[in-house]
Amino acid sequence: MSEAANGAEQELDLGWMERTGPWETRAAPGKYGLTIADISIGDYGEAPEVSDNLTGRPRGAAARPASYRIGAYSVRSKNEIWLDNASFLYEEALQRQWSSATDVPWHTIEPLPDDVEQAECQLATFLTEVEFVAGDVPARWVSLTTPDFYEPRQVLLAQVMDESRHMDVFRKRALANGGGLMQATGATSGFVGSIDLSRDFTEMSSRLHVSGEGAVLTLFRMGELMAQNEAEKVIYRLCAQDEARHVAFGVMHLLYMSETAPERREEIHCYL
Give me Rg for the CA atoms of the chain. Answer: 24
- In sequence order, which residues have a C-beta less than 8 Å from that of residue 244 and are 6 or more positions away? 217
Report the number of distinct structural domains present in the chain: 1
Alpha-carbon distance of 239 to 7, in angstroms, equals 64
Entry pTM: 0.89
For residue 126, is it within any domain?
Answer: yes
- Judge residue 174's burial from the number of C-beta atoms within 10 Å of its C-beta, 0-12 exposed, 13-18 middle, 19 or more buried: buried
For residue 118, is it within any domain?
Answer: yes
Q: Which residue would you say has higher pLDDT here, 62 or 48?
A: 48
For residue 31, is it within any domain?
Answer: no
For residue 27, is it within any domain?
Answer: no
- Domain range for 121: 79-271
For residue 117, is it within any domain?
Answer: yes
| Cα-Cα-Cα-Cα dihedral sign, residues 53, 56, 60, 65 | negative
Identify the band that residue 133 occupies on the pLDDT scale cut at 50, 70 and 90. confident
For residue 205, is it within any domain?
Answer: yes
Q: Which residue would you say has higher pLDDT here, 230 or 42?
A: 230
For residue 28, is it within any domain?
Answer: no
CATH number at residue 158: 1.10.620.20
- In sequence order, which residues have a C-beta less than 8 Å from that of residue 96 and are 6 or more positions away? 241, 242, 245
Beta strand segments in 67-129, E: none
| For range 7-30, the mean pLDDT | 78
Across all residues in the chain, what is the average pLDDT? 91
For residue 255, is it within any domain?
Answer: yes
Cα 9–chain centre separation = 51
pLDDT digit string, tens, across residues 225-260: 999 999 999 999 999 999 999 999 999 999 999 999
